[in-house]
Structure 1
Amino acid sequence: MVANEYDMIVIGSGPGGEGAAMKAVKAGKRVAIVEKYMKVGGGCSHWGTIPSKALRHAVQRLVDFRNYPMFEHLIQGLNISYPQLLKSAESVINKQVKMRQSFYDRNNVDVLHGHARFIDPHTVEVLSDNAPRKRYHAEAFIVASGSSPYRPKDIDFTHPRIHDSDTILQLDHTPYCITIYGAGVIGCEYASFFRGFDVKVNLINTRDKLLAFLDDEIIDALSYHLRDQGILIRHNEEYAAVEPLDDCVILHMKSGKQIKSDVLLFANGRSGNSRDMGLEQIGIAINRRGQLEVNANYQTSVPHIYAVGDIVGYPSLASAAYDQGRFAATHFVTGQCDHRLIEDIPTGIYTSPEISSVGRTERELTESKIPYEVGHAFFKSLARAQITGQTVGMLKILFHRETLEILGIHCFGSESAEIIHIGQAIMAQKGDANNLMYFINTTFNYPTMAEAYRVAALNGYNRL
């Protein structure tokens, strides 16, 4: 095999690309990965999951110290800026990049830096500012190029007061007031983060409720606590124009409202990174959101070209993208793949308080006419929550009234994204193993947050 020929070329080094590359190279295939930027890791490591969660953790620690009487006097004179918080996230990003680069180095996966563009169905050209363009040939390709924030053409994102979820990580000062347009997961997370940092926050929602895919009780709790923290939420609003000025930015709404702030964060949707990749020329259609259609094996309309992760849309999660990459590479290596994404994928929303859920909501169960019951455990009653001071939140179990099958688990509060996996493991069991009695009859460490499962199970069982 010549130097520029591979069994498989992966485009994008985020979770989907990494999962695909590692699966193929472990199966003995010669693999290259094309990364547009100078460091591997994709948007997940550099602009999305890792930096935003590192920032959130830093602010949460600050809030915890501020609310803890023993440290209150130390915090009063402490002046931490937004750029300083960004620096704290850099160390985490660098560790992630170093670790992921080592995966490719150890497994002899060539990393080709530059923008990949298909010349024909088996050839890509890689264009880089730092090297002459080169062409590479492969038997198969996996497109894992991710997504980027949606940018309406009528908004000037070059203005220093207007940002998206990528460029907000380059903000060089601490704003006094920020307006966040879009109240999806990213918008709610950043609203919570900036408010914890004592920034005034306007959260503009284009719909009638926050995060409508969640259980209604969780939505109500989130709305209450965001407002209790001082976030101004406006529902059912759409922007008419964005007016950037030297000293502020004004968001003009179709309702006639005008919202003035130091900075605007536009966080209303994302688009697949499919532009200028030559996909249309080789017969692969791109939808209006820049995404590619794939079959159950993640094959596009050109069978030897696969696509995974954000570029294919739902569920647009780093955890799912890694598995999608593995499954696509498995199909390439073996010609078949019986593995599929699990039916109940857990959500993790890093607002403050944190949210996580798996399975069906009360609304869905009611619409399906499934007889269910509810069990609650409120964190304020748990010894571990009282010790840590994290008493806001609850664990909610939905289960079948007759079979006691676990139908859904919803958690709101500190460490929710960790706590949820206990319930997820039981829900994944078949037959009688998925049963409320597991939580009732299992001995949990005390004091722990996991004990909430026993408390919630007993609470629900007593309703029968």
Structure 2
Amino acid sequence: MAVYDYDVIVIGSGPAGEGAAMNAAKHGRRVAVVEEQDLVGGNCTHKGTIPSKALRHSVKQIIEFNTNPMFRDIGEPRWFSFPKVLKRAEKVISNQVVLRTNFYARNRIDVFFGRARFQDKNTIQVSGTSKGTETLRAKNIIIASGSRPYCPSDIDFKHPRIYSSDTILKLSHTPRTMIIYGAGVIGCEYASIFSGLGVKVDLIDNRDRLLSFLDGEISDALSYHLRNNAVKIRHNEEYESVEGDSNGVVLTLKSGKKIRADAFLWCNGRTGNTDNLGLETIGLDANSRGQLEIDEHYRTSTDGIYAVGDVIGWPSLASAALDQGRAAAADMLSGDDFRYINEVPTGIYTIPEISSIGKTEEELTAECVPYEAGQAFFKDTARAQISGQPVGMLKILFHRETLQILGIHCFGDQASEIVHIGQAIMAQEGEANTIKYFVNTTFNYPTMAEAYRVAAIAGLNRIANL
């Protein structure tokens, strides 16, 4: 059995693993990456972030074509099947794999395709590689093995009409009706995608409002637009049973309701991929959701072992995972670029999309912070009118006395891009971090960015006469 020595071993090649491996390699360390799938990129590239966002983009284009009167000169509205739209996502996935494969090659990082398991805290056994079983040794090991959908045992996920958020990418037809169980970020995104394809969607939520971590006004806007696209949202519901037959699926809820649909998509929770790593041999225990406990330097309780990405839980975002991986490598190498990742913008790719950073109105009210809100509605901005994307708004929350920016909340086209302007200003020190920045700065016209100026003026006007 071949044995290879490295400075750092990274388990997983998703965003967290990639960030860790690249940062360690840039600091001159010899790095090995172990990836269970046949290609690099992790679930982010193959089953999660990239395919779902590529799907969303294609569906958004279909909606624009079918609803824009100008295109009626070209032809009648068109219906597109889910498999046809999925082909576009497959091209993006392929491009991402090529890009990321080159990253590893260029930085001379060895990638082992196989299943990793700890023999001790400095030794990993990789089974199923092209050479059989191989052994890797290193002083430091970073666990970045990602997550998978939580699939309860009382639901038959082998049934051809019952899917998880991973297996939905193998859907070979376009159902007329669909039940989506779980109204978190993934469930809401897929509700947007399928309703955009003309599928009648029942979205089952076990809470009393969608995405309760969002600002209430933004959550309400999402609910309105999903319902406007014929999504039936059912709050405060839990499943009793899910039964598939040759014609579809019947969902029985604990409230007594029964719902039938052509297909069922489970989007309720994820589990860290830690159960087959042999953590017991190095004194680590994952919690009931497969997640590992870490300190503020991404170190586990076992010396030399770090954990990043979905295996540590919040915020379970690709953007944060990449930075967590880089930070863990920086700490390991005593680098001066370490930072704990705690200010992370949300990016929710529904149609329209949502993004925010900082406090919500509900949080500021609970904390008795004297705040005010400035709003700009996209329907009133020239750029949104030109692009035909009038839905949405930008909201700036700021302190009434110091004018410090406390939160940025955006709903509408390009929200995940727009939020970064506010994020950059919030990160400044002193007077640079006030709403006056947006009033005293000249923005290109017409742009979506000028919504900041409109919202800032509106907010200052609300306190001008007090």
Tell me, yes or no, whether TM beats 0.5: yes
Change (3 A) 1:266 1:423: same
What are structure 2's unaligned runs of at least 5 residues? Answer: none
Deviating beyond 4 angstroms after TM superposition, the runs of 4 or more aligned structure 1 residues are 335-338
Deviation of 1:79 after TM superposition, in Å, equals 3.7
CA distance in 1, matches of 2:301, 2:73: 63
Aligned-residue Cα RMSD (Å) equals 1.3
SS at match of 1:99: helix
Distance 2:170 2:390 in 1: 34
Alignment match, 1:439: 438
Q: What is the letter of the counterpart of residue 222 of structure 2?
A: L
2: CA distance between counterparts of 1:325 and 1:366?
35
SS at match of 1:152: coil
Q: CA deviation at 1:336?
A: 7.7
What is the rounded CA distance, in whole Å, between the counterparts of 2:247 and 2:300 in structure 1?
A: 48
What is the deviation of 1:235?
Answer: 0.2
* 1:365 corresponding residue in structure 2: 364
Q: Name which of structure 1's ranges 70-79 and 110-119 shifts more when overlaid on structure 2.
A: 70-79
Residue by residue over 1:322-381, the C-alpha shift from the partner in whole angstroms, topping out at 9 and shown as x without a partner, is 11111111111127875221x431101011111010100000000000000110100010
Counterpart Cα distance in 2 of 1:396 and 1:446: 19
Q: Where does residue 457 of structure 2 map in the other structure?
A: 458
**Is the 8 Å Cα contact of residues 280 and 286 (structure 1) preserved in structure 2?**
no
Distance 1:62 1:33 in 2: 39
Aligned residue for 1:290, secondary structure, equals: coil
- The 8 Å contact of residues 162 and 265 in structure 2, kept in 1 or not, is answered as yes
AA partner of residue 384 (structure 1) = R
**1:408, 1:55 → 2: CA distance?**
30
Match of 1:350 in 2: 349
1:120 shift after superposition = 1.2
Alpha-carbon spacing, 1:4–1:164, altered in 2? closer, same or farther (3 Å): same
For the 8 Å contact 1:240–1:254, the answer to whether it is kept is yes
Note closer, same or farther for the CA distance 1:199–1:333 as it changes in structure 2 (3 Å cut): same
Matches within 5 A, 1:236-315: 236-315=236-315
Task: Call closer, same or farther: CA 1:194–1:264 in 2, change over 3 Å.
Answer: same
Name the SS for the 2:357 alignment partner: strand
Structure 1 match to 2:123: 123
**Percent identity between the two aligned chains:** 60
1:56-75 pair list within 5 angstroms: 56-72=56-72, 74=74
> What's the offset of the Cα at 1:78?
3.1
Bigger drift between 162-171 and 68-77 goes to: 68-77
Secondary structure of residue in 2 paired with 1:4: strand
- Equivalent residue number for residue 389 of structure 1: 388
Instruction: Say if 2:113 and 2:129, in contact at 8 Å, map to a contact too.
Output: no
Matched with 2:137 is: 137
CA contact 1:298–1:306 (8 Å) conserved in 2: yes
Question: What's the secondary structure of 1:463's corresponding residue?
Answer: helix
Please name the residue that 1:37 is paired with. 37
Q: Could you tell me which residue of structure 2 aligns to residue 193 of structure 1? A: 193
1:459 maps to a residue whose letter is: A
- Between the aligned partners of 1:57 and 1:335, the Cα distance in structure 2 is 39
CA contact (8 A) 2:112 2:129 kept: no
Contact between 1:300 and 1:306, CA under 8 Å: does it hold in 2?
A: yes
Equivalent residue for 1:183? 183
Aligned AA for 2:76? Q
The answer on whether the counterparts of 1:124 and 1:136 sit within 8 Å (CA) in structure 2 is: yes
- Which AA in structure 2 matches 1:358? I
Question: Is the contact between residue 396 and residue 456 of structure 1 (CA under 8 Å) also seen in structure 2?
Answer: yes
The 3-state SS of whatever aligns with 2:396 is strand
- Once the two structures are TM-superposed, the CA of residue 74 in structure 1 deviates from its matched residue by 4.2
Residue 233 of structure 2 corresponds to residue 233 of structure 1: yes
- Residue number in structure 1 paired with 2:106: 106
Distance 1:29 1:338, change over 3 A: closer
SS in 2 for 1:299: coil
1:246-299: CA deviations, max 9, x gaps? 101001100000010011000000000001110122101110000011111111
Q: Distance in 1 between matches of 2:59 and 2:77?
A: 16
Residue identity matched to 1:367: A
Conserved 8 A contact 1:66-1:75? no
Instruction: Give the secondary structure class of the aligned counterpart of 2:218.
Output: helix
Q: CA deviation at 1:242?
A: 0.6
2-structure distance, mates of 1:350, 1:28: 37
Query: For the Cα contact (< 8 Å) 1:81–1:173, is it kept in 2?
Result: yes
Contact 1:65 1:75 in 2 (8 A): no
> How far off its partner does 1:130 sit?
4.5
- Structure 2 distance, partners of 1:461, 1:333, is 47
In the alignment, structure 1 residue 205 sits paired with structure 2 residue 188: no
TM-score computed with the length of structure 2 as normaliser = 0.97
Q: Secondary structure at 1:306's aligned position in 2? A: strand
Partner of 2:462, secondary structure, is coil
